[in-house]
Amino acid sequence: MTARRIAYFISPHGYGHAARAAAVMAALLELDAGIQFELFTLVPDWFFRDSLIGCSFGYHALLTDIGMVQRTALVEDVPETVRRLDAFLPFDPGLVRELAERVLGLGCRLVVCDIAPLGIAVARQAGLPSLLVENFTWDWIYQGYAAEDVRMAQHAAYLADWFAQADYRVQTAPARAQPAQLHTAPVSRRARTPAQQIRAQLGVPPGARLVMLTMGGVRWQYNCLDRLANFGSVYFVIPGADEALAASQKAPYPDSLLLLPHHSEYFHPDLVNASDAVVGKVGYSTVAEVYWAGIPFAYIARPKFRESQVLSAFVEQEMAGLAIPGPHFESGAWVEALPELLELPRLHRAGPNGARQVASFIHDRLV
């Protein structure tokens, strides 16, 4: 029987969209091991190899989306975003035709987009159905910056038209509510190694508390490491810690500070699940993983980025959350809130992960 093949266009804005796409693909393979994927994105292929163990996929390095250019994990660069959008939009008709021929030549039956609208244009050119998976779309984000540069509003209007042309729309909580054929629970990759095994591999002694610091896969220079090193029996695991900063210290950090490289041997959802609390930027994949782990989350929002408002409200309403002002996080003053964070309860979650809900919806449109 001919393999059912899906073209997946994934925004390279951070790792959140790739994490959600990987969770959906893993759930699809549980439903039907014969499905094959062709990935179109600039997210590194190692991210998908780590997330989809044992799954072979086609990888096509392609700029599918501009998203928002970031000066840091917490600060957007509007002028540079506009410059790149001016070069990327409107979509190049020749590129769209070439990609349409490629997905048809690969035997793809469906184009799924998270949340790169280029895939919708390719699907329409190829005569294939398109399915948009989102919790927001870029036109809504860009409208929030229109007062800074009117070209953001112009690009928003262009992309809004493409998003509206998706044949199917799936919204994953927490989302900016819009009409869709399916609304789901939060979508996250599932932990696959028991928490105690991860803690033992990290060298966390029994009875110690473990707190994870994360900026959503973006490197960050933490200004609080010296203060964390003197925090008693609390251990801290920090993926993507600035290794140059650690190497510059005259004395090594104690064993309670676990500084991991940007791409480590540990699966991110395993680290979340093994932790007693998470401190970091409020981004979709982090919120979803922390939600399903049920652990407290001290979160840092981005004031101008509209998605942050939606995610922050969800954390406050549905999770054990504690807001940290951006300046407090950058200075390290947030450390004073650690006792309060560790007193927050761990919550039990029930119901299906949204990844399974999305996968079922997609599968029904393949057969």
Are residues 157 and 122 part of one domain?
A: yes
84 & 155 share domain: yes
Tell me what pLDDT residue 240 has.
79
| 23 and 149 inside one domain | yes
What is residue 344's predicted lDDT score, i.e. its pLDDT?
97
Q: Assess contact for 110 and 128: CB atoms under 8 A.
A: yes
Whether residue 172 sits in one domain with residue 227 = no
Order of strands across the sheet with 321-323?
257-260, 234-239, 209-214, 277-281, 297-300, 321-323
Q: Do the domain assignments include residue 349?
A: no
Q: Same domain, yes or no, for 99 and 212? A: no
Report pLDDT for 245: 54
Same domain, 215 and 104: no
Domain assignment of residue 190, yes or no: no
Please say whether the beta carbons of 155 and 87 come within 8 A.
no
Q: For residue 14, count CB atoms less than 10 angstroms from its CB and return exposed for 0-12, middle for 13-18, buried for 19 or more.
A: buried
Length of the chain: 367
175 belongs to a structural domain: yes
Beta strands in the chain (DSSP E): 5-10, 36-41, 58-61, 70-72, 75-76, 108-114, 130-134, 168-172, 182-184, 209-214, 234-239, 257-260, 277-281, 297-300, 321-323
pLDDT at res. 255? 83
DSSP three-state, residue 162: helix
List, as one string, the DSSP characters of 47-116.
HHHHHSTT---EEEE--------EEETTEE-HHHHHHHHHHH-SPPHHHHHHHHHHHHHTTEEEEEEEB-
Q: Are 279 and 213 in contact (CB under 8 A)?
A: yes
Q: Residue 228: which CATH number?
A: 3.40.50.2000
Does some domain include residue 64? yes
Q: For the chain, report the end-to-end CA distance as a whole number of angstroms.
A: 12
34 domain residue, yes or no: yes
- If asked whether residues 156 and 65 sit together in one domain, one would say yes
Residue 215 has a pLDDT of 86
Domain range spanning residue 256? 195-343
Residues 131 and 10 in one domain: yes
Question: What is the pLDDT, as a whole number, of residue 241?
Answer: 73
Helix and strand totals (H; E) in the chain: 16, 15
**How many domains does the structure of the chain reveal?**
2
pLDDT at 221: 77
79 and 158 belong to one structural domain: yes
Beta bridge partners of 60: 40
For residues 194 and 141, give the distance between their C-alpha atoms in angstroms, rounded to a whole number: 38
Instruction: Give tens-digit pLDDT for 211-245.
Output: 999 987 777 778 788 888 778 789 999 987 755 45
Segments of the chain scoring below 50 in pLDDT = 1, 244, 248, 250
Tokens of 122: 């390719």
Residue 304 lies in a domain: yes
Q: Both 219 and 125 in a single domain?
A: no
How far lies 7's CA from each of 84, 98, 112, 196, 310, in Å?
25, 14, 6, 37, 29
> Which of 158, 151, 170 has its CA nearest to residue 23?
170
pTM of the model: 0.95
Tens of pLDDT along 187-220?
999 999 999 999 999 999 999 999 999 987 777 7
Same domain, 134 and 275: no
Spatial separation of the C-alpha atoms in residues 307 and 136, rounded to whole Å: 7
Same structural domain, 200 and 173: no
In a domain, 136, yes or no: yes
CA-to-CA dists, residue 355 to 25, 309, 318, 349, angstroms: 8, 23, 18, 15
For residues 185 and 365, what is the distance between their CA atoms, to the nearest angstrom?
Answer: 20
Q: Tell me if 137 is assigned to some domain.
A: yes
Contact 311, 284 (CB under 8 A): yes
